[in-house]
Amino acid sequence: MPPRLLPAPADAATRAAVFPRVRWMGSKHKLLPHLAQAFADIAPADGPGTALDAFSGSGVVSYLLKHQGWAVHSNDYLGFPGVVASAGVVNHDTRLDADDVARILGPAADDRDFVRRTFTGVYFTPDDLEFLDSAWSHIDRMQGGGRAVAIAALCLAAARKQPRGVFTLTGDLSRYDDGRRDLRLSLREHFAERVADYNAAVFAGPRDCEVSSLEIGALEPRRYDLVYLDPPYAPPADDNDYTKRFHFLEGLSRYWVGDTIMWDTKSRKLPKRVTKFSSRRTIEEAFREVFKQFHDSPLVLSYSSNALPDLDTLVGLLREAKDDVEVRRVPHTYHYGTHRTAVRRQVDEYLFLAR
Ligand SMILES: C[S@@+](CC[C@H](N)C(=O)[O-])C[C@H]1O[C@@H](n2cnc3c(N)ncnc32)[C@H](O)[C@@H]1O
């Protein structure tokens, strides 16, 4: 077989940057060039093999790995990340055409109204909510890559229209209206544009890829040629709860099928999923268990100097499972807080390469 021609790390990072961007807490969009270099450095001598992106979130790192030629297994315990990875990583060739989009934008295929009944006065306009019900009446009849692209575009439409992209904010959000186009478009208009974004991201990678939606400890023990770990950062204050911020995208990614809504909450939240990564008290144990779980796979770990545990503790925990631990520091600016009180903070983003 002729050698596969794979892009240089900088080129792979540039290509991966076209992946439709969602404001996911901890997204590594800005760190793609550093990650591309780390993955190239840790790859086996005969080229990329199997890679697990164990906490895939926005999907952009799985998408980078696909561009670098890895056979990617993309995992996150939430369903929304699974949908975006199905659309852009597992899917090698299916795009939605103009007829598909016209059908989804057209009259509803059934009379479902769960979204309208549940979220009127909470999020979006009545027309937007009606569109979400109507779009799902068509999506429910779709399968495979096309279905994934449609759901991913619908979720991204909702994420872009919601101020700051988080669903902790409800009711009248006019105070957040800074004139941005994203806040003014209807969800129908957004959907058509977001489909175009996903269509542009679809490409045929050299290897089959897969997706799962499991708590990391539930992943089947298996050796990979690379395991990328980007767990939720445990901040010294505040929480790292993704469901609280993104429950609407999570529910929308499956039309809330099987979900138990917390009706006593204003935002119609979904229950939080607590694991050892959720608390400062248990985070060290969480890391110890994960490093043990993947002790025979080369690891790349992302973590922040602004989170717990600290650098020395993490290096110590990695050395319990690995002989060779290298630390790279990337200065990174985070934006914290609300629209009005947003502050920029300079932190180091650490990349640990452990073999
Ligand atoms: C820092 S984010 C990952 C960001 C991602 N690398 C990106 O670039 O968008 C952490 C992710 O871990 C997921 N997560 C949290 N706890 C988890 C667990 N115990 N098992 C699997 N996934 C988990 C969250 O849903 C979230 O998407």
Q: What is the mean pLDDT of residues 312-319?
A: 98
Res 339: pLDDT: 54
Instruction: Tell me the DSSP string of 286-314.
Output: HHHHHHHHTTTS-EEEEEETTSBS-HHHH
Res 338: pLDDT: 52
Contact 350, 329 (CB under 8 A): yes
Question: At residue 336, does pLDDT exceed 80?
Answer: no
Q: What is the mean pLDDT of residues 243-257?
A: 98
Taking only the tens place, the pLDDT of each residue in 133-160 is 999 999 999 999 999 999 999 999 999 9
What distance in Å separates the CA atoms of residue 84 and residue 308, rounded to the nearest whole number?
29
Taking only the tens place, the pLDDT of each residue in 273-284 is 999 999 999 999
Question: At residue 4, does pLDDT exceed 80?
Answer: no
What distance in Å separates the CA atoms of residue 262 and residue 37, rounded to the nearest whole number?
43
Atom of ligand 1 nearest to the CA of 61: 8
C-alpha dist (Å) from residue 207 to 5, 72, 148: 13, 8, 19
What distance in Å separates the CA atoms of residue 158 and residue 188, rounded to the nearest whole number?
10
Please give the angle made by the CA atoms of 65, 302 and 328, to the nearest 5 degrees. 100
Question: At residue 341, does pLDDT exceed 70?
Answer: no
Q: What is the mean pLDDT of residues 329-342?
A: 69
232 CA distance to ligand 1 middle (Å): 6
* pLDDT above 70 coverage of the chain, percent: 96
Q: What is the mean pLDDT of residues 314-324?
A: 97
21 CA distance to ligand 1 middle (Å): 16
Query: Ligand 1, atom 3: nearest CA belongs to which residue?
Result: 57
Q: What is the mean pLDDT of residues 225-240?
A: 91
pLDDT band at 2 (very low <50, low <70, confident <90, very high): very low
Give the largest CA-CA distance in the chain. Answer: 61
Taking only the tens place, the pLDDT of each residue in 37-65 is 999 999 999 999 999 999 999 999 999 99
333 strand-pairing partners: 346
CB-based pocket (< 6 A), ligand 1: 24, 26-28, 55-58, 60-61, 76-78, 81, 215-216, 230-232, 242, 275, 277
Q: What are phi and psi of 77, to 5 degrees?
A: -75, -10
Question: At residue 200, does pLDDT exceed 60?
Answer: yes
Question: At residue 212, does pLDDT exceed 80?
Answer: yes
Q: Which two tokens stand for residue 314?
A: 């993490």
What distance in Å separates the CA atoms of residue 76 and residue 212, rounded to the nearest whole number?
7
Res 1: pLDDT: 46
pLDDT band at 238 (very low <50, low <70, confident <90, very high): confident
Please give the angle made by the CA atoms of 70, 278 and 257, to the nearest 5 degrees. 75
Residue 309: asked if its preceding bond is cis (omega within 30°), the reply is: yes
Q: Which two tokens stand for residue 115?
A: 């979204």
Average pLDDT, the chain: 95
Long-range (24+ apart) CB contacts under 8 A made by 251-257 are 252/80, 252/115, 252/132, 252/151, 252/154, 252/155, 252/158, 253/79, 253/80, 253/82, 253/83, 253/151, 253/155, 254/79, 255/114, 255/136, 255/139, 255/140, 256/114, 256/118
Q: What is the mean pLDDT of residues 217-230?
A: 97
**Domains delineated in the chain:** 9-92+203-231+275-354 (3.40.50.150), 98-199 (no CATH)
